[in-house]
Amino acid sequence: GQQVMQIPQYQHVQEGEDFTTYCNSSTTLSNIQWYKQRPGGHPVFLIQLVKSGEVKKQKRLTFQFGEAKKNSSLHITATQTTDVGTYFCAGPWAAGNKLTFGGGTRVLVKP
């Protein structure tokens, strides 16, 4: 079956620094979604990428979809304490809008 893997599993970042987290799928994806889950919270949709090589920005967050549509990345610039949480990528599989979630990257910010 489809597998979605994320690295790193944990990311300790100094406040103000940049970092990137990566998502890799075992199969080609029609689209990829990113969600953020704050500690004790539930996943909240951030963005969806559809086109090969697509890049989208949300303030300090930059999302990219790979040319082969099998990988994606999330880059955060000037990390803030509000960025703390787990970032999940998710890709659809089969029909019916089912999503396979990656294991997530847990981001901790050191002030």
Partner 1 sequence: EAGVAQSPRYKIIEKRQSVAFWCNPISGHATLYWYQQILGQGPKLLIQFQNNGVVDDSQLPKDRFSAERLKGVDSTLKIQPAKLEDSAVYLCASSLAGGKNIQYFGAGTRLSVL
* Binder among 49, 85, 100, 107 for partner 1 (CB under 8 A): 100
From CA 22, how far away is CA 70, in angstroms rounded? 11
- Is residue 111 within the footprint of partner 1 (CB under 8 A)? no
- Residues facing residue 29 across a β-bridge: none
Omega before residue 8 within 30° of 0, cis: yes
Residue 21 interacts with partner 1 (CB under 8 A): yes or no? no
State yes or no: residue 108 binds partner 1 (CB under 8 A). Answer: no
Amino acid at 86: T
User: Where on the chain is the footprint of partner 1 (CB under 8 A)?
Assistant: 4, 31, 33, 41-45, 48, 88, 90, 92, 94, 96-104
